[in-house]
Chains A and B, each alone.
Chain A
Amino acid sequence: MPGKTVVDARGSFCPGPLMELIAALKSCQVGDELEVLSTDRGSANDIPEWVRKVGHEHLATHVEAGVWHITVRKAK
């Protein structure tokens, strides 16, 4: 049963939300969903761009109280 992992990267400048996502993906199974929480506006562009390039799925992005929630699915 695929699970959902929250990657709480709020306040992370280094290594940053995308790096946190890349690290977290290694521990997940194909089909798992990951929701990245980020206070960095750039992540809203960087993460979907990387996800597409690698071949995972970008499911959704929304902003709530200054926090970007970016949901992706591990596809391979």
Chain B
Amino acid sequence: MKILIVGGGMGGTILANNLARRLNGELKSGGARITMLSASDKHMYQPGLLYLAVGRMTPDELYRDQAGLLEPGIEFHVDPAEEFQLDHNRVKTKSGKLYDYDTLVIATGSRMYPEGIPGLAEHAETFYTEASALKMFKRLQEFQGGRVVIAVGVPHKCPMAPLEITFMLHDYFKDRGLGDKVQLHYTYPINRIHSLENVAKWAAPEFDRLGIAYETFFNIKEVDGKNQILRSEEGAEIKYDLLIAIPAHKGMEVIEKNGLGQNGWIPTDRQKLNMEGRKNVFVLGDTTNIPISKAGSTAHFEADTLGENIAAMVKMGTPVRDYDGKVFCFIEAGKDRATYAMFNYQNPPDPKAPTKAVHWFKMAYNKLYWVSARGLL
């Protein structure tokens, strides 16, 4: 079986390594072949951007060489896909090469799209790329006081990011002795401060205790940069001195260009993870349109399921289990405390009070990620 994985992010990398181990014998005998196409020779630990934005990580800590993360036997090419010729079971790349497959996995991820809101890209700080996170940190360093507004677009990568950045900004300014001069003003699109009800119930009293103001039912409409005013679809206005945005995201352009899914999200079966209408095309991570968190852990657990299933299809001709919607998210509650949320399609999360122990576990995971990406954890 020729397995082609498009995308070298968390989902694609874990899946490739998982499959290479499960299909070790088949790779040696020629019964299976695993090829990965990626746009970059580097692999970024994206959750690290949150720390980069507040000066708690440096850019070099975010990256490893992609080839070095992959098991021997995986063919890796830095040659991004440009045309998905699904009716012919092949993908054409930027270099012009054609890659045939028996099974295709699309894991191209997502990107922030601040351009969708007038004024947002020009006037808000963000932290979803290395360059924007560095720029944001420099703005924070220059900031001497005033109202910092946190604004949230939908959908976005990492559902915990709005809360985490707010807690971390609180501690950042407090450490600089600016606690009394900075007012944090958090906004959120729905009628509570986080989409997960139990997370919102935990976080609201924390915000109250820390003096963080919040406003719900606030969907970003436009930014008036000249007058430093943020306006909502609901008709509210907030004056800001510094605007931090979690912009709405889209899937990658190549998905839209190929007509695989509106806004770059591919319609995907939530249990089998195959692209709707295509039995030999699977979708992982942010790229799916499944209504669950766009998070690394989602991609990770989907990749575990898909690894088992594709290997079983090679060995037995049939998949063995369904993806149950499992997601696990750490939630940083400041510079030295954290909690977590774990849930699936059937069971909502029930986060506990933050502790230092969970924070240190998250700090350890920031390093252990590289073991995770190798498919070992």
Contacts and interface: CB of A to CB of B under 8 A. Distances in A.
A9 B23 CA distance: 35
B191 A46 contact: yes
- Counting chain A residues whose Cβ lies within 8 A of the other chain, the interface size class is 20 to 34
For the side of the interface on B, what is the size category? 20 to 34
A46 B195 CA distance: 11
A12 B219 contact: no
A14 B263 contact: no
B168 to A, nearest CB: 20
A65 interface: no
Contacts of B349: 13-14
A37 B234 CA distance: 24
A22 B189 contact: yes
A22 B159 contact: no
Interface stretch (B42-50, B80-88, B310-318, B339-347): B339-347
A14 B292 contact: yes
B290 to A, nearest CB: 9
Contacts of B262: 27
B1 interface: no
A20 B155 CA distance: 8
B154 interface: yes
B195 A14 contact: yes
B245 interface: no
Interface in A1-22: 7-20, 22
A20 B154 CA distance: 8
Interface of B: 116, 154-155, 159, 189-191, 195-197, 217, 219, 233-234, 248, 262-263, 270, 291-293, 325, 327, 341, 343, 345-346, 348-349
Given A13-B348, A14-B327, A22-B189, 20 more contacts: A11-B270, A11-B345, A13-B343, A14-B159, A14-B343, A15-B195, A15-B292, A15-B293, A16-B190, A16-B195, A18-B191, A19-B195, A20-B155, A23-B154, A23-B248, A27-B263, A42-B197, A46-B190, A53-B217, A54-B219
27 contacts: A7-B291, A11-B270, A11-B345, A11-B346, A12-B291, A13-B195, A13-B196, A14-B196, A14-B293, A15-B154, A15-B292, A15-B293, A16-B190, A18-B190, A18-B191, A18-B195, A19-B154, A19-B155, A20-B155, A22-B219, A23-B154, A26-B116, A27-B263, A46-B190, A50-B217, A54-B219, A54-B233
